[in-house]
Amino acid sequence: MDQLAYWADELRTNDVAPGVVIKQANSEAAQVAATGPTDPTLALTKGLLRTMLTEYSRAVYAKVHGGDVSVHIQLAYTLANAVHDQLVGVEAPLAARGCDVTPLLTS
Tens-digit pLDDT profile for residues 64-98: 999 999 999 999 999 999 999 999 989 999 999 99
User: Where residue 33 falls among pLDDT bands split at 50, 70, 90?
Assistant: very high
CB atoms within 10 A of CB 42: 19
- List the chain domain ranges: 2-106
Q: Is the Cα dihedral 21, 6, 33, 84 positive or negative?
A: negative
Q: Quick: pLDDT tens for 6-27.
A: 888 888 888 889 999 999 999 9
